[in-house]
Structure 1
């Protein structure tokens, strides 16, 4: 009884004080009432009163009623509202209980505990259904790639992440086994930035795989065995000023001769080879702002391209701060040009490098055109001595192209600083946070479609657009499918940029700091995964105490729903800048015209801090933390919305997989995805619905492969229903998009890079893992 009294006193006092403060913020009165109940119980317990069990039973019953009223029959919200109090109540079960109230208490405690445990069996947060299994388009465009190969980041420049291979099916996928593992040797080091990530998707050309590593090594492997053929080390030095240290992939220029290159075994480091004249070429972007052209056979630099196989991408930049500009995504190769965009550090300096997009002759490296969104009509190669526009919006993700239309589709980001809009020109406003279609031969704008007006939330268009020919009520249309951070999936006509599924303009919250403004409306797509606004009842935590603290923080922040402007008070940004969708994009089956996606839901906090405050020594290098915004009157502090115990303040699930019928725009199924297996001290495979980053791959066999989530698994999903049919254990975090191909024996292989993600906290490694069916 004494222990019960002590613990009840401490918990009750905490809840009473915090609950009173929460009421002053117009929050739930429950915590104050609970605190008073517990303090009364503590007093009774210290007195060894016979009433203590009766009063505590009444408290448990009222708390259970309140918990169900707030959360419904949902295990995780109920468990964290009731679990601590039921555990505390065990102390009242330890003694023989002949005193008055014993039977009532024991019965009440038992019923509530059993009922709570029973809610674990109640399925929640899942939408069951079956996607179309019929072929709508039996001869779709899937890109000029041999069936057994993978020539670009999204398999082709269409970005579908769809393979026509169909050896692996729902009937036999359970027979997949690991067949080889390769360790690159490139791991996160002590001098690396926090966001050092392994996000590469390999290419398969001939019988070789080509992939880059976080520090820009290009590795060639035998596609049958995973044996190293050659490695080119770009010799990129560590730089603490970079926000990211990653490489998502390399690009391929097929040979003019038509003869597919064959990788050779090269013992010495490829960077030591003499440059040669190349027929085929691989393009490797580096995090020190170079573009390299390499021979697929040996890894030697291509002497015909640029300066002995490399270009300096800092040329004509208005500012050249070390680590402020680099490419994390592969360039796009189409119609004789290689188009290079880049990432500009967010929120470091108002005077940063330009977000210019440049097209070079793919063989010679000569500049063909440059498109700077601040001067969108001036696409002729920049004159000697001139510079591109300071800090103009960039395109850091992966582009797509339609060679037949002669268009490239670029997902556009924002002008830095993200949360301060007073520095932007009308042209920059027009092209920021959009998809822009440029002519591949001239760089001239064909059309632009914007997804946020005057973006103040770092809602860059993050994902590669997907090109697919859709059957609609208006007939077959050339479509462009664009996932966004805010949860919309826009389906546009890729010739014109006009929406195929309706776009609407909806009122948005107003009110900013002096000198800035917000758009009165923001766009929305009829196809979307936007979450409902957060409320106090959505707050979560391991105990009622950190739930209460999350509620206090929610009510202390400025929050008027999606697009709440940044503020000095601190604003809740939901969805957060991690996004409902990110660079992993979606996968589309062009025959069945269905889409596989991985929507995520995590809230962030954005707070503007006047430079007059004591900020010295607090500045952070990276996207999260306190970013300086040098030259601006405000720094910005960005962080996830977490409880004191470091778990999200919003209750789970935080991650799903979902299937969409693109002929109707309807979501047919949606399921929680991922477990806490690798995020807790005990390896518990509890399917909570976890966040992740990476992308899916669809095969003609009706299987979708994806890792991405924070547990170390590659999963195979039934495309029709979204059910997990198989999972393979990975040696590290799989925050990269897999790919599939045929080896020289005609066997379908599935390959996943597993190296972890610095800011997600997944297991770090340097692995390339291959699977195939075992008979």
Structure 2
């Protein structure tokens, strides 16, 4: 009994001390009161008084009532509030002192009822939105692009960015018959000297009967689409650079041959490294951006560099940059190939320096590499090719994600980021304010702006527009409209007329919190789409942890940080940013079915914190730690520290679920269904496949048969879903993290294949690897 009483005293003292701290922050009184009760229970237990059981039974009743009042009948909040206290009751039940039958008679049924009631909450999904998307085809002749049905010619299958395949061999009825067809390992693995954000996010292209994909260190690989056999490898020989924030490649781009037969590529088996081949005149071309700021053009058949493009197949993207710090500028996403041009944007490191390279978007002749136009968001009117010796605008907003194009309308659509530093808005010009955190439509021929739609005014939270726009024609009350659908980090999905930029689904403005550092300001209002996956404003009651102790610490953090809802400005005190800069949606974007005019997405919910660190007289120690960490903002008065809002045990401070899949009717903006996605199998030491709704990064694809494929989540699975209901139909274990968007095609035998790159993600801690895996239906 001495040991048991000591346990009660220690637990009680911890809760009392932390609870008093929380009360001083105007937080809940529960923890301090619980600490007092447990200290008393410990004293009664030490003196072997039967009142210990009675008091503990009343404590369990009060704790259960408080838990239900705060969180409702929801397993994870209840289990972590009640679990330890139910376990602590067991010694009181099994070691009763003679004469304590009355206390036992009360404690035993209370313990059993609360325990069974808590376990029963496992059967209730309090967060599930139940429903079904219509299976009716709205537009049988919908525009799905001119890519042959058996192929995949661009990151989103084609420049429409729909991530939709007309293949229907794999169906909701037979998807469970998928099995591994082949597996290939690239040999490009994470190195000890690599930056944290080393990721394998590539979606392969399928042209003729070959797959083309890039790797994190910019190897371009050709594989046989039937067998996965390696055909050739081109290694761009990218040097190590610790100043990069990312070491990744999301894909390559394709210029079809002038013959007009886009899939007529006779790929040859290489006898040695493709980079050692002499450069050659190319008809068809593959374009790969590199992490040392080059654009490389190679021949799809051999992997040899294209002598007709730029300097023997290499274009230096640092030309005319105002600043050229190593590792501060590069492209991680494939360029757009349209209208005879290859159009390149790039990523500028967040928060490393006020004076950084430009975010300019440039169109080059796809055959020669000659600059055709340049659009710099800091100098948006001047799009004629810049002269030698001139420079683009310093640190202007960039576009680091994937763009889309409509060659019939003559427009290319870029999701825009923010000007660095992200959290310090005093450096921005009027033009930079206009184009930051938006989508901009540029004229394919001239680069001039056709329209712009902004999603965050005066962005102080790193709410870059992260995702490729999806283009489809949408039936509306005003008739069929050319639509652009684009998700955002803050959770809104905007549906715009892609010809005019006008909203198809309503967009409104809402008041936003004020109060910034001296010299800056916050926008009085922020836009919101009527189609939105934004989460509710956080409350103290939403704080979570694996135990009451880290829950308590999360509550103390919550009350200590600045938080007045979404768009609370960053501060020296530290600000909660929710949704965080990881986004409700990120570069994986969404997938749309242009025939049924519906959408599949993977909304995520993780809070972050943003702290401005005054630099004057301070020893900051190590800075420039990547997107999540302390970054210097060289030349500015504040450094900034961005990180996930986590408990001392390393789990998110806001209660789960953290990840969902969802289906939406794009004509009405109605969210038809929303389900938890993913398990904690790879998040804990115990490999338990408990479906919790976990974070992830990557994107989905849709097939005409109504099957959706998605990996992305932090457990290492590729899954198939029913587009209509959202039900998971199939899953397979991946050899590494699947933080890439899959693709599908027909092989030479007419069999539908599904391919997933599985290489993991350095920032979110999934299993690292170098795999490409392909699946097809079992032979009957």
Q: TM exceeds 0.5?
A: yes
How many residue pairs align between the two structures? Answer: 775
Which whole-Å CA distance do the structure 2 matches of 1:642 and 1:580 have between them?
Answer: 17
Contact 2:241/2:326, CA 8 A, preserved across alignment: yes
Which whole-Å CA distance do the structure 2 matches of 1:126 and 1:97 have between them?
Answer: 47
How much has 1:619 moved relative to structure 2? Answer: 1.4
Pick aligned residue for 1:249 from 245, 248, 251: 251
- Residue 134 of structure 1 is matched in structure 2 by 136
Which whole-Å CA distance do the structure 1 matches of 2:527 and 2:383 have between them?
Answer: 29
- Residue 177 of structure 1 is matched in structure 2 by 179
How much has 1:96 moved relative to structure 2? Answer: 4.7
Pick aligned residue for 2:507 from 495, 498, 503: 503
- Residue 68 of structure 2 is matched in structure 1 by 68
Contact 2:50/2:97, CA 8 A, preserved across alignment: no
- Residue 25 of structure 1 is matched in structure 2 by 25
| Deviation by residue 1:415-464 (Cα, 9 ceiling, x = unmatched) | 00000000000000000000000001100000001001100000000000
Pick aligned residue for 1:749 from 750, 753, 758: 753
* Superposition map of 1:610-629 within 5 A: 610-612=614-616, 614-629=618-633
Which whole-Å CA distance do the structure 1 matches of 2:491 and 2:416 have between them?
Answer: 16
Contact 1:3/1:91, CA 8 A, preserved across alignment: no
Q: Does 1:90 align with 2:90?
A: yes
Which whole-Å CA distance do the structure 2 matches of 1:355 and 1:340 have between them?
Answer: 10
Contact 2:48/2:97, CA 8 A, preserved across alignment: no
- Residue 288 of structure 1 is matched in structure 2 by 292
Contact 1:153/1:203, CA 8 A, preserved across alignment: yes
Contact 2:579/2:605, CA 8 A, preserved across alignment: yes
How much has 1:3 moved relative to structure 2? Answer: 2.5
How much has 1:620 moved relative to structure 2? Answer: 3.7
- Residue 147 of structure 1 is matched in structure 2 by 149
How much has 1:97 moved relative to structure 2? Answer: 5.2
Give 3-state SS (helix, strand or coil) of 2:78's partner. helix
Which whole-Å CA distance do the structure 1 matches of 2:271 and 2:586 have between them?
Answer: 38
- Residue 81 of structure 2 is matched in structure 1 by 81
How much has 1:503 moved relative to structure 2? Answer: 0.5
Which whole-Å CA distance do the structure 1 matches of 2:99 and 2:199 have between them?
Answer: 62
How much has 1:24 moved relative to structure 2? Answer: 1.2
Which whole-Å CA distance do the structure 1 matches of 2:97 and 2:745 have between them?
Answer: 68
Which whole-Å CA distance do the structure 2 matches of 1:295 and 1:550 have between them?
Answer: 55
- Residue 446 of structure 2 is matched in structure 1 by 442
Give 3-state SS (helix, strand or coil) of 2:94's partner. coil
Which whole-Å CA distance do the structure 2 matches of 1:86 and 1:271 have between them?
Answer: 65
- Residue 191 of structure 2 is matched in structure 1 by 189
- Residue 492 of structure 2 is matched in structure 1 by 488
The answer for unaligned runs of 5 or more in structure 2 is: none
| Deviation by residue 1:28-56 (Cα, 9 ceiling, x = unmatched) | 11111101111111111122212111111
- Range 309-318 or range 259-268, more displaced: 259-268
Contact 1:208/1:262, CA 8 A, preserved across alignment: no
| Deviation by residue 1:469-508 (Cα, 9 ceiling, x = unmatched) | 0001111000000100000000000000000011001100
Which whole-Å CA distance do the structure 1 matches of 2:266 and 2:549 have between them?
Answer: 62
- Residue 58 of structure 2 is matched in structure 1 by 58
- Residue 517 of structure 1 is matched in structure 2 by 521
How much has 1:465 moved relative to structure 2? Answer: 0.3
* Superposition map of 1:381-460 within 5 A: 381-460=385-464
Which whole-Å CA distance do the structure 2 matches of 1:280 and 1:99 have between them?
Answer: 90
Give 3-state SS (helix, strand or coil) of 2:549's partner. helix
Pick aligned residue for 1:217 from 219, 231, 234: 219
- Residue 710 of structure 1 is matched in structure 2 by 714
TM-score (norm 1): 0.99
- Residue 206 of structure 2 is matched in structure 1 by 204
Pick aligned residue for 1:727 from 731, 752, 758: 731
- Residue 11 of structure 1 is matched in structure 2 by 11
TM-score (norm 2): 0.99
- Range 126-135 or range 414-423, more displaced: 126-135
How much has 1:669 moved relative to structure 2? Answer: 0.3
Contact 1:242/1:621, CA 8 A, preserved across alignment: no
Q: Does 1:157 align with 2:164?
A: no
Which whole-Å CA distance do the structure 2 matches of 1:613 and 1:204 have between them?
Answer: 56
Q: Does 1:540 align with 2:544?
A: yes
- Residue 239 of structure 1 is matched in structure 2 by 241
Contact 2:710/2:719, CA 8 A, preserved across alignment: yes
Give 3-state SS (helix, strand or coil) of 2:610's partner. strand
- Residue 462 of structure 1 is matched in structure 2 by 466
- Residue 110 of structure 2 is matched in structure 1 by 108
The answer for unaligned runs of 5 or more in structure 1 is: none
RMSD across aligned positions (CA): 0.8
- Range 92-101 or range 17-26, more displaced: 92-101
Which whole-Å CA distance do the structure 1 matches of 2:24 and 2:419 have between them?
Answer: 39
How much has 1:613 moved relative to structure 2? Answer: 5.3
Which whole-Å CA distance do the structure 2 matches of 1:163 and 1:97 have between them?
Answer: 71
How much has 1:267 moved relative to structure 2? Answer: 2.2
